[in-house]
């Protein structure tokens, strides 16, 4: 029996056609558009809400901002926030204690505002005020930003206030040997004294006192007392609207909303 002879030209053409089809399929698979949710540019950014009447110039990325730099002065909030609320506070001050959770909640709700802590231990609250300032500084120096703010919150939750200090025998939970050595020494004292001296130079003698800073224009506004949220928004509007013609530093009148009882 004889097999039929194959036409070599037809075999070659069929092979070339199959190869061309394979190439088309591979190229289509590589170049087809990505329809997954991550390909949508709108999914990676969120518009920033207005702060009072201030409209941000740019959008803040929805991804977490870079972490705050470690070390004093300690900061809370986004590292790229345009505005900073600098608080001069005493850990034995009852007004500061009541204001702490209020301000923290407000900062959490306003991502374009960060919070910066400055120690101002008052003479009437010594030595407890400086002892507690040393504790939270040392916890922060050996544990980072989050550890510092947790220590401040813990002190406010447990101190008897008005210079009475922490209850006898109460120790900060989880204090590491390195942090304890810092507390027993003088490593943190320099930062505390420097911040208190800076407050004295600016004639700040009561707590809490706030200094609102616009990092874009470097204008500031001094606010005395535990200022409520609406007053903070008004202060932000005032600083942001000042522009180049505004004075480098202004002070809100003492009778402004939220002024601390004297």
Q: How far apart are CA 206 and CA 141, in angstroms?
A: 26
Q: Is residue 219 part of a domain?
A: yes
Q: Spell out the per-residue pLDDT of the chain, length 262, in tens.
A: 444 454 555 544 555 555 555 554 444 455 554 444 333 333 322 233 334 444 433 323 334 555 555 668 999 999 999 999 999 999 999 999 999 999 999 999 999 999 999 999 999 999 999 999 999 999 999 999 999 999 999 999 999 999 999 999 999 998 999 999 999 998 899 999 999 999 999 999 999 999 999 999 889 999 999 999 999 999 999 999 874 334 444 444 433 333 344 3
pTM of the model: 0.69
Domain assignment of residue 60, yes or no: no
Domain count, the chain: 1
Domain coverage including residue 239: 75-251
> Domain for residue 148, yes or no?
yes
What is the torsional sign of CA 239, 245, 246, 249? positive
How far apart are alpha carbons 201 and 211 in whole angstroms?
A: 14
- The domain that holds 230 is classified in CATH as 3.40.30.10
Residue 29 falls inside a structural domain: no
SS3 at position 173:
coil
The answer to whether position 240 is within a domain reads yes
Element of type H or E holding 16: helix 8-31
Within a domain: 102? yes
Domain membership flag for residue 119: yes
Question: Is 261 a domain residue?
Answer: no
Q: Is 73 exposed, middle or buried (0-12, 13-18, 19+ CB in 10 A)?
A: middle
């Amino acid at each position: 029996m004889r097999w039929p002879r194959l036409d070599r030209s037809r075999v070659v053409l069929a092979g070339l056609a199959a190869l061309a089809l394979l190439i088309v399929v591979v190229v289509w698979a590589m170049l087809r558009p990505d329809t997954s949710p991550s390909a949508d540019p709108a999914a990676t950014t969120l518009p920033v809400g207005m702060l009072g009447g201030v409209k941000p110039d740019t959008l803040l990325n929805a991804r977490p901002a870079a972490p705050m730099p470690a070390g004093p002065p300690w900061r809370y909030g986004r590292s790229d926030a345009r505005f900073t609320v600098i608080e001069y506070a005493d850990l034995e001050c009852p007004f500061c204690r009541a204001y702490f959770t209020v301000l923290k909640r407000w900062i959490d709700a306003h991502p374009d505002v960060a919070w910066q802590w400055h120690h101002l231990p008052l003479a009437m609250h010594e030595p407890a005020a400086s002892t507690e300032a040393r504790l939270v500084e040392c916890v922060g120096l050996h544990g980072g930003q989050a550890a510092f703010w947790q220590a401040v919150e813990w002190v406010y939750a447990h101190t008897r206030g008005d210079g009475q200090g922490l209850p006898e025998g109460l120790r900060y939970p989880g204090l590491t040997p390195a942090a304890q050595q810092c507390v027993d020494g003088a490593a943190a004292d320099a930062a505390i004294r420097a911040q208190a001296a800076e407050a004295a130079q600016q004639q700040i003698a009561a707590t809490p006192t706030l200094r609102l800073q616009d990092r874009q224009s470097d204008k500031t506004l001094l606010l005395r007392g535990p200022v409520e949220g609406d007053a903070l928004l008004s202060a932000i509007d005032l600083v942001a609207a000042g522009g180049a013609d505004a004075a480098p530093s202004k002070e809100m009148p003492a009778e402004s909303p939220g002024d601390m009882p004297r």
